[in-house]
Amino acid sequence: MPVKMQGEKPVRSGIELASLSDLGCQRENNEDRYSYWEAESDEVFRTRGRLAIVADGMGGYEGGQEASRIAVEAIEEVYSSTLDGDPQSLLVAGFRAAHERIQELAREDSSLHGMGTTCTAVVLLRRRLYYAHVGDSRLYLVRGGDITRLTRDHSYVGRLVESGVISSQEAEIHPQRHILTAALGAGAEVSPDASEEPLSLETGDVLVLCTDGLWGQLTEQEIQDAVTAHPPARACRELVQLARKRGGPDNITLQVIRINGDAAS
């Protein structure tokens, strides 16, 4: 069973981080990808903070893997190499660069035609959260006794919810809930959702970035219970195990970030 695990990563103080990507029970390859970046230089770290990304590729055996890889690498490259600009604008620039690179490779290689990827990326800087998002990979905030989804699904079912045709509870079990209406690499242009203002973070807050292979098999309450009761590494393992027990029809990927003590950056 191909599993890629990051336990308590060697990151600067202020957070606990764990990430896990699992093939699931029915797929032959893993088209998900994730990354975590923080600058080696303390000076750059003070201005750029931390960057975490999850992506869920689509478009066949090779296409999905390529699309998610390009997305993660492009966003990380744009964010880490650009000295000017605020975190939010850099995230959006990274998404647009990823979109263009995916389309460029698809034009060069006909076997990759139609590939694309979801993507959710967050920046943590001076106790503030910035994020950008395309597709149906999700970002949750767990604070106190509540879990809040900060992203909206760019999907057919998501549109039904926004138009009032079905409820958010009905959407979670709708058979067409995984049909996307937006993805990096798809369409002429990309317009990622982005936080209008940074969100202030508090000690004890937990952020969960995850692909639909996780949230499609679990309830939000189950996600909240796991990350509240356990350290990030154990929470990752338990959530993936539960998704697999429910059939694991898709790749399962998540990152869990707990805000600790002095999270100055």
Q: What is the pLDDT of residues 105-157, one digit of tens each?
A: 999 999 998 899 999 999 999 999 999 999 999 999 999 989 999 999 997 77
pLDDT of residue 165: 79
Neighbours of 119 (CB within 10 A): 31
Tokens in use for 74? 């492009």
Judged against a pLDDT cut of 80, whether residue 264 lies above it is answered with no
Q: Which amino acid is at 204?
A: G
pLDDT of residue 66: 96
| Nearest-angstrom CA–CA distance, 108 and 237 | 39
pLDDT of residue 116: 96
| Nearest-angstrom CA–CA distance, 135 and 151 | 9
Q: Which residues pair with 109 in a beta bridge?
A: none
pLDDT of residue 4: 43
Q: Which fold would CATH assign to domain 3-259?
A: Phosphatase 2c; domain 1 (3.60.40)
| Nearest-angstrom CA–CA distance, 97 and 23 | 28
Q: How confident is the model at residue 161 (pLDDT cuts 50, 70, 90)?
A: low
Q: Which residue reads 């429910």 in tokens?
A: 246
| Nearest-angstrom CA–CA distance, 263 and 128 | 9
Asked if 75 and 119 touch (Cβ cutoff 8 Å), the reply is yes
pLDDT digits (tens, 9 = 90+) for 33-82: 999 999 999 999 999 999 999 999 998 668 999 999 999 999 999 999 98
- Integer CA distances (angstroms), 188 to 79, 163, 182, 204, in order: 23, 25, 11, 41
Q: How confident is the model at residue 163 (pLDDT cuts 50, 70, 90)?
A: confident
Q: Which amino acid is at 158?
A: G
Q: How confident is the model at residue 250 (pLDDT cuts 50, 70, 90)?
A: very high
| Nearest-angstrom CA–CA distance, 146 and 75 | 30
Q: Is the dihedral of CA 91, 92, 96, 97 positive or negative?
A: negative
pLDDT digits (tens, 9 = 90+) for 1-43: 334 444 445 789 999 999 999 999 999 999 999 999 999 999 9
